[in-house]
Amino acid sequence: MSSRAYIGLGANLGADLWAALTQAALSLAALPDTRMAALSSAWRSAPVDADGPDFLNAVAALDTALAPLDLLDALQAIELAQGRERPYRHAPRTLDLDLLLYGELTLDTPRLTLPHPRLGERAFVLRPLLEIAPELSHLAAADGWQAQRIERLGPLSL
């Protein structure tokens, strides 16, 4: 049995952010027992609660049979493979993969909170998410995200 999971992709460190997100999307599509259902456009956004240059962001919809913590482990392995370091909280990053939603599951553990706790506050997540899943518009509860600087750049292709 599979569940629909939504993954936020982001990067603001490296020579080619577009290539970093494309490679991450390819890695997501190659996960075992997983199918890429949709991939948003790439969006450029100013950092929110983070340092460094602008981010390139996207959201992927996956149909996966991986359990939530197994999926989280796989996301972290993809980040590491692309050079992700965590020198301090909100540091610039070569790749950031966030498990945003996993079906209808709600979870609150030290390792994973679902839905992602800041999902409804950040344009860099909401704009690409609503591009591929407009039926989730009820998640955009906070008001401040509409004023955040973000620009749609165009489709990521696999």
Question: 116: number of CA atoms within 13 Å, CB side?
Answer: 20
Q: List the catalytic residue out of 4, 70, 98, 118.
A: 98
For this structure, is 108 an active site residue?
A: no
Helices (H), 1-145: 17-29, 68-81, 123-132
For this structure, is 33 an active site residue?
A: no
Q: Would you state the structure tokens that stand for residue 46, as one six-digit string?
A: 């100013």
Whether residue 128 is preceded by a cis peptide bond, meaning omega within 30 degrees of 0, is: no
**Bridge partners of residue 137, in order along the sequence:** none
CA 115, 116, 122, 126 dihedral sign is negative
For this structure, is 96 an active site residue?
A: yes
Residue 131 CA to residue 85 CA, distance in Å, equals 29
Q: List the catalytic residue out of 96, 108, 127, 152.
A: 96
Q: List the catalytic residue out of 54, 93, 111, 122.
A: 93
For this structure, is 89 an active site residue?
A: no
Residue 139 CA to residue 152 CA, distance in Å, equals 20
Active centre residues (catalytic)? 84, 93, 96, 98
